Amino acid sequence: MANFLQKLLIFFRIKKPKQQIEKGFYRHFKGHVYEVIAVAKHSEDLQEMVVYVSTINPEDIWVRPAYMFLEQITRDGKTFTRFERVES
């Protein structure tokens, strides 16, 4: 029971993405295109994680917390969305 309550408390503390992330193709702000193949849950804290793969090298598989996937970032004084949905 204590383990369940711990996970429940962690669940309400984790950051959630502002919008749902769907399977498909996304362009990283640096220009490369990736395919989102799944949205998974972290085994310990149930945080949503985006699983995505390079369109150039299918063995290049990445995982990123979902709340970070579509966040706004600033580099060299310019603001970008980390990943933007593109047509396949």
Domain count, the chain: 1
pTM, to two decimals: 0.77
- Whether 64 and 39 have beta carbons less than 8 Å apart is answered as no
Q: What is the mean pLDDT of the chain?
A: 87
Q: Can you give the pLDDT at residue 52? A: 98
For residue 55, the enclosing domain spans 2-86
Average pLDDT for residues 62-77, to the nearest whole number?
A: 94
pLDDT at 53 over 70: yes
Average pLDDT for residues 31-52, to the nearest whole number?
A: 94
Q: Can you give the pLDDT at residue 76? A: 94
Instruction: Give the position of tokens 């979902």.
Output: 66
